[in-house]
Structure 1
Amino acid sequence: MDIHPSEGPVEPPRFRSKMDMGGGGRIPYDDYPVVFLPPYESPPTWIPPHERIYHSDYNNELTQFLPRTIVLKKPPGAQLGFNIRGGKASQLGIFISKVIPDSDAHRAGLQEGDQVLSVNDVDFQDIEHGKAVEIVKTAREIVMRVRFFPYNYQRQKERTVH
């Protein structure tokens, strides 16, 4: 509220002129659409610039999220060294849910949170879980196209009830 010495308090206008926008009428403020904003997130604590490269809140290294190829050779009857979860029913894809330490999969760079994009040129982005397991278990050589996608992996875990 503005106060003018000669006039006293002046109420703010209840209407905004459409003339500013090229129109000829007025729109009541109550008619404007309501926009809900997400909850405020505090910024990360201040860290000196020379230390930021080692801090996850400041690190902008995005190459970890790019697709990469993992090649695994599996002798008959051997374990794969990783588990998968998800599939067509989850609408989020197939993800690596566990990697056994010191396994071939671990040494090849597979990690929990990797989304499996394809295996041996079979698209895994919209495949049933059972079909995905069958393809992975029956192959002698596995050429996987994966990308680290922790956001969707977390969403997929939240949808699954154990």
Structure 2
Amino acid sequence: MVRSRSSCLKNMDQKIPYDDYQLPVVFLPSYESPPAWIPQQERIHHPDYNNELTQFLPRTIVLKKPPGAQLGFNIRGGKASQLGIFISKVVPDSDAHRAGLQEGDQVLSVNDVDFQDIEHSKAVEILKTAREILMKVRYFPYNYQRQKERTVH
């Protein structure tokens, strides 16, 4: 049986039930288009070609918390999400804000306690009971977004 090219193309537009495929099939995610081409000499100043990687490097935040004072930020995530603890909110004009903490920062450690595989409740307890907080964080918006989609904290 010989099929014309147009009949083959028509069939490609129709959805075939998964069980009717003859061979193993892999469905790929939709393709993301790259940014529009920009002359190389203009890329250094263009937001689509931001090569400033220092914003993603780990940094240290030091906070002192008087008794009864608020931290000035919220966290979400933990061991259940398998993505870590992230800063989900920073109160404007708080000590945390002035120290450079921002939404999307992953908390790597607090006072030498590893926060990369810690329960949410344990992380909250450590942060609330400490008078002086030495945090190691890194800005990691990709995993923060994934973590927001997975958890309710």
Distance 1:56 1:78 in 2: 39
Which structure has the bigger radius of gyration?
Answer: 1
Counterpart of 1:160, as a letter, is T
Residues 109-139 of structure 1: per-residue CA shift (max 9 Å, x gap): 1000000010000011111111101100111
Query: Normalized per residue, which structure has more helix?
Result: 2
Counterpart of 2:111, as a letter, is N
Structure 1 equivalent of residue 66 of structure 2? 75
Question: Does residue 141 of the first structure (1) align with residue 132 of the second (2)?
Answer: yes
Work out which of the residue numbers 63, 81, 88 in structure 1 matches 2:54: 63
Give the CA RMSD over aligned residues: 2.0
Counterpart of 1:137, as a letter, is K
| Cα shift at 1:37 | 4.4
TM-score of the aligned structures, taking structure 2 as reference length: 0.77
Question: What secondary structure, in the 3-state scheme, does the structure 2 residue paired with 1:57 have?
Answer: helix
Question: Does residue 105 of the first structure (1) align with residue 123 of the second (2)?
Answer: no
Structure 2 equivalent of residue 42 of structure 1? 33
TM-score of the aligned structures, taking structure 1 as reference length: 0.73
Q: Tell me the percent identity.
A: 89
Distance 2:54 2:150 in 1: 28
Query: Normalized per residue, which structure has more strand?
Result: 1
- Higher relative contact order structure (alpha carbons within 8 Å, sequence separation ≥ 6): 2
| Cα shift at 1:58 | 0.5
| Cα shift at 1:49 | 3.9
Pairing of 1:3-42 with structure 2 (within 5 A): 37-42=28-33
| Cα shift at 1:73 | 0.7
Aligned length: 132
